Chain A
Amino acid sequence: MPSGSIQLMIIVAYLVLLLALGLLSSRLFRGTKLDFQVASHSIGPFLLLMSLFGTTMTAFALVGSTGESYRKGIGVYGLLASSSGIVHSLCFFLVGLRVWKLARRNGYSTQIEFFRDRLDNDFIGLLLFPILVGLVVPYLLIGVISSGGVIQTMTAGLAPGWSMFQTIGPDGVMNPATNGGVPAWLGSLVICVVVLIYVFYGGMRGTTWANTFQTTVFMVLGMVTFYVIANKLGRQESFLENLRVLAEAIPESHATREQMSKSKFLMYLLIPLSVGMFPHVFQHWMTAKNAASFKLPVVFHPLFIMIVWVPCVLVGVWTVAVYMSPDLRPDGPSLPTLPSGVVDANKVLPFLVKTQTGAVLGGFLAAGILAAIMSSLDSQFLCLGTIFNNDFVTHYFGKDRFSDQQQVLMTRIFIVAIVAITYLLSLGNVRSVFAMGVWCFSGFTALFPIVIAAIYWRGLSAAGASCGILAAITSWCYLFYQGTQVPIEQGGLSGYMIRFSLADQPIEIMPVVAMTVCSTVAMLVVSRITPKPSQEVLARFFD
């Protein structure tokens, strides 16, 4: 049997199982729009914990964290995981809980409905709609790219004779790490189609159940992966001995944070604030049955992040260690590379799973990685459809203009169109999933002051919020363009910093800081000088 065929069969079986789960959950579907969008606000604490965690832990967390720790070392955990443990729960507590109550009281399913009603202004919806959709696209892109890369790496050797399955390295010879595997474009396409089908059938209820199932799968299989890879790479008798051998082999550059800037480490604290403005997380908050359902996610989110991220970060730095050490270097192919010859960090994790585990276990572990990816894609697909339906079709054409069936059809066409655009973008050469994720999160972080002000500040005006949003997105576009001008050798998009001198001292600022300052200042200044919503409106939001 050709190499990669068992892995492919297991991946296909997993996808079929997922489709079955989606179809099964559709039998629980109550047939209402409310059930399709927010599961009739019936989700209890455990499902809320699992679905929120599964939604926030993306390819960025598994594939991206392993790849980035391979490049930068153990500091990646502090950079985003431990900070997210503090900040995500803070957002659930300060934003999620309040928004949930307001949404239940006033009947919202999307962020745009909330902002439009809170500010008593229609333009805010028109402004937010393309921005939220536009910022979700790079987030989708992360999942789509990673899924194709995982499937290609895991099925390498399946059909090396087929020209479509061949991958050529920078030196003109076949790249053994990926050659013969299902092409990344095909793998990404299949994953998109599978997720679309179970989202279309099951709606939010199906998505929540699928998320819970997939979160369990990737957490359990993630620990198994860690155990198996440690034992294989360490080559010692016991698991603990393997951990010690591998830890001692980590080069100092990766066992410390000498490659990282301290000020950048501080500024990265802003990135997890993005969760407070993710439209798909907002929609999951709306599914909660009651306020008490939030307690479990608030408490256990930091622990779950640790359970997923620590193994990924360790595997990333071990990879550096073993491929640098003549004694520990594994037999078999070298790490996969990009056409430029640089190691493809996005494929480090699937490559290790493929080369360091048996075919059957490797297939299951690949399914686990795909589970993490799909558990975010589904919520994002559903959220895009909900925004389109509620904030565009229903809002501007009226709820009676189109039948339920017509609305569902238009929503599905919109989702497919966005997924198609994302898919086409994924065919380009995206070097770092991590960098793409950080830019996407930076945009959402820049919008975070608007939601905080909307909840806690009576003085926020519609013009102030609009200017804040415009300042956020304008600065994002400008800085992203500047980032694309940075040569790959100097870090590319992920290496871009705003640099200037103050009193002859060189200062470096991350783009997210500048964007957040821009949006906050614009919001505060304009709100001070423009009319606020009426007292009648404010009374609905401030007890």
Chain B
Amino acid sequence: MTQAPPTRTATGPRIIAILAGLLLILHQDYWFWTSDILVFGVFPIGLFWHMGISLAAMMVWYLATRIAWPADFESDSVGEGGSFSHANSAEKTDGLSKPGIAEDSF
């Protein structure tokens, strides 16, 4: 996503935790359990409510990428191929590398 630099704050993760908890509470919509109201004459209310939960989840996770994204991940300091410093490193850099092949970067 092309976007402005994130504005992670100390309270960001807490806000996201509260919103995610709220979503989980709203998910238990016992108040619509036996309601057969049709929203717009098309969607049973029990389905429509949960479609709303899906959209709200998308918004909460968008907010998470803006205010709660881990600060130590912003630099993306691990480069192509990784800094394979440990046991598995050698076997993974073996091989028949074909230079010049573009990455699937989109």
Contact = CB atoms under 8 A, between A and B. Distances in A.
A104 B82 contact: yes
Contacts of A77: 47, 50-51
Contacts of B10: none
Interface in B24-52: 24, 27-30, 33-36, 38, 41-44, 46-47, 49-51
B2 to A, nearest CB: 10
Contacts of A399: 90-91, 94
A258 B106 CA distance: 45
A117 interface: yes
Given A42-B103, A47-B106, A256-B35, A90 B20 contact: yes
Contact of B54 (A41, A269, A306, A394): A306
A256 B46 contact: yes
A86 B78 contact: no
Contacts of B91: 33, 394, 399
Contacts of B38: 244, 247-248, 255
Nearest to B42: A243
Given A33-B91, A300-B58, A313-B47, A208 B33 contact: no
Where chain A touches its partner, the secondary structure class is: helix
Contacts of B104: 39, 42-44, 47, 205, 208-209
Given A30-B97, A33-B94, A74 B54 contact: no
Contacts of A35: 95
Contacts of A265: 28
A34 interface: yes
A543 B93 CA distance: 26
A540 interface: yes
A101 interface: yes
B24 A302 contact: no
Given A42-B80, A291-B76, A247 B33 contact: no
A39 B60 CA distance: 30
A30 B92 CA distance: 12
A74 B46 contact: yes
A194 to B, nearest CB: 22
Contacts of A269: 24, 27
B33 A302 contact: no
Contact of A247 (B42, B85, B86): B42
Interface in A374-412: 390, 394, 399, 404
B46 to A, nearest CB: 5
A186 B98 CA distance: 39
A291 B6 CA distance: 13
A107 B87 contact: yes
A467 interface: no
B47 to A, nearest CB: 4
Interface residues of B, number: 63
B67 to A, nearest CB: 12
A253 to B, nearest CB: 10
Interface in A273-314: 289-292, 295-296, 298-303, 305-306, 310, 313-314
A299 B41 contact: no
A113 B86 CA distance: 11
A32 B28 contact: no
B105 A289 contact: yes
A499 interface: no
Contact of A248 (B34, B41, B46): B41
Contacts of A97: 70, 73
B27 A86 contact: yes
B33 A107 contact: no
Contact of B92 (A34, A85, A310): A34
Q: Which 3 pairs show the lowest CB-CB distances between chains A and B?
A: A32-B95, A31-B96, A107-B84
Given A44-B104, A299-B1, A302-B57, 12 more contacts: A28-B101, A31-B96, A33-B94, A44-B106, A106-B87, A244-B41, A247-B43, A266-B28, A289-B105, A291-B74, A313-B47, A394-B91
11 contacts: A35-B95, A42-B80, A43-B104, A74-B47, A77-B50, A86-B27, A107-B89, A109-B88, A250-B44, A295-B69, A299-B62
Interface of B: 1, 20, 23-24, 27-30, 33-36, 38, 41-44, 46-47, 49-51, 53-55, 57-58, 60-62, 64-65, 69-70, 72-74, 76, 78, 80-98, 101, 103-106
Interface of A: 28, 30-35, 39-47, 74-75, 77-78, 81-83, 85-86, 89-90, 93, 97, 101, 103-109, 113, 117, 205, 208-209, 240, 243-244, 247-248, 250, 252, 255-258, 262, 265-266, 269, 289-292, 295-296, 298-303, 305-306, 310, 313-314, 317, 390, 394, 399, 404, 540, 543
